[in-house]
Structure 1
Amino acid sequence: MTLLNEQLILQAWNHNASPWIEALEAREITSRELVTNQAILETLQDIPSHSVLDLGCGEGWLSRALAAEGRKVVGVDAVPMFLETAKAKGGGDFKLCRYEHICRRTVGSTVDLAVANFSLLGRQSVELVFRRLRPLLNYGGHFVVQTLHPHTSCGDLPYKDGWREGSWAGISERFQEAAPWYFRTLETWLQLFNETGYSLQTIKEPVNPNTQKAASIIFVAQKIDV
């Protein structure tokens, strides 16, 4: 089931790449406009870094924002349409790459900072990228993850790890079937960082001003150098 769901994630994003790009350009995703875009930018501004790897960069909005600050950005994604759009808009060195293929050869160089902004959806693929990323970080390098907050995204289902059905609720009807995603409790996220060689420095919980609930959770971790 895990491998099938991993394939369905990629399949769904390939099918929905066009409406996703349109939604971002039209600023239709309220939580991003109100909270999470600014939250990740402010978090990254506090981390000194010259080179950045944008994991699951999509159409490249975050890469462009970081490049505008003078950082050298490499963006990777497995969806061709996202990469075509990112390259056309510029602001980084964009590469078509699945997470299981991330390495020094595919990325091109080591980096000071890696960021995954709502781009870690699977189980096996996420565990793999945590391990594959570590050798790509320079000494003292940081890994920042913004994702759905476990407490607010759990809904009425049991608070335990497991695959969940995706949803495009509240977004345009142009979207097709949503991708499944793997739910992790807060404890499991913390274990994943610890077991793969990172020291967690900060946890942020950006709040949606309209709902007064956590819109996301941001983990700021540093590579443990031995």
Structure 2
Amino acid sequence: MNPSSEEKIVESWSKNASPWVTAVRGERIESRKLATNNAIVDAVLSRSAHSVLDIGCGEGWLVRELTARAMHVVGVDAVPSPIEYAQDTGGGSFHVVSYEEIASGVLESSFDVAVCNFSLLGKTSVEELFNAAPSLLNPRGALIVQTLHPVTACGDLPYQDGWREGSWDGFHSDFTDPAPWYFRTLESWVSLFRNSGFRLFEMREPLHPKTQKPASVIFIAELAADKGC
């Protein structure tokens, strides 16, 4: 896949912002409704956090859920349209910020938790974001990532890192031009955390109640001892 894949991710989500908001707010995505939404909320609550940064927040549902639990939550996304929906709805603080801008240090605040909920699709952009993540966290802070489970998401393709074609299979016909995404094995995810200054504290595998297969994987990582304050 050509080097413009990172740009195509943002282009795709810009085109599909409106149908995505409709799908999320209408609870039309079964796996989210039955498993993964509650799973990521529970993961953040397990940290007893007071402040949270939601990276790739989309239309802001997770920000609103956590704000309702008396947390101070900031949501950022590289695509302006979902942020506009989020700001109109309220329930948190929302800003248009790209992953590259986060990596460059544009965010001056620090948080108890930084969470990425199905929002890490690229290669270089994700690696740069991980490298910057320690600077976003307070002492004893945590980075929490929910993503497609590599074992179930691999399909019939080789179980190895690499770019994959996107798909809107199972979604409404309003969705177009699916975003490419960079597949990582479990081993690669673990290495990414370690190489970025984190210690993987916990890994959760929420099961889809109908299929009894992993609907996702959730990584909960803390700053390594030599990265803390």
Same fold (TM over 0.5): yes
Which residue of 2 is the match for residue 222 of structure 1? 222
Per-residue displacement from partner, 1:177-208 (whole Å, max 9, x unpaired)?
A: 10000000000000000000000000000000
What is the distance in 2 between the residues matched to 1:2 and 1:106? 28
Partner letter of residue 156 of structure 1?
A: D
Partner letter of residue 218 of structure 2?
A: I
Pair 1:186-2:175 in alignment: no
Pair 1:205-2:208 in alignment: no
Cα displacement (A) at 1:49? 1.1
Contact map agreement 2:103 2:129 (CA 8 A) in 1 = no
What is the distance in 2 between the residues matched to 1:121 and 1:103? 16
Contact map agreement 2:66 2:73 (CA 8 A) in 1 = yes
Cα displacement (A) at 1:107? 2.7
Contact map agreement 2:203 2:218 (CA 8 A) in 1 = yes
Choose 102-111 or 190-199, whichever is displaced more. Answer: 102-111
Partner letter of residue 194 of structure 1?
A: R
Secondary structure of the structure 1 residue equivalent to 2:100: helix
Which residue of 2 is the match for residue 85 of structure 1? 85
Choose 156-165 or 82-91, whichever is displaced more. Answer: 82-91
Misfit runs of 4+, over 4 Å: none
RMSD of Structure 2 on Structure 1 (CA): 1.2
Cα displacement (A) at 1:89? 1.1
Cα displacement (A) at 1:108? 3.9
Contact map agreement 1:139 1:225 (CA 8 A) in 2 = no
Pair 1:94-2:94 in alignment: yes
Contact map agreement 1:2 1:123 (CA 8 A) in 2 = no
What is the distance in 2 between the residues matched to 1:121 and 1:74? 21
Contact map agreement 1:83 1:95 (CA 8 A) in 2 = yes
Partner letter of residue 87 of structure 1?
A: Q
Partner letter of residue 151 of structure 1?
A: V
Cα displacement (A) at 1:104? 8.7
Partner letter of residue 186 of structure 2?
A: L
Which residue of 1 is the match for residue 71 of structure 2? 71
- Give the aligned length: 226
What is the distance in 1 between the residues matched to 2:26 and 2:92? 22
Equivalences for residues 43-122 of structure 1 within 5 A? 43-102=43-102, 106-122=106-122
What is the distance in 1 between the residues matched to 2:41 and 2:132? 24
What is the distance in 2 between the residues matched to 1:106 and 1:23? 31
Cα displacement (A) at 1:88? 1.0
Cα displacement (A) at 1:118? 0.1
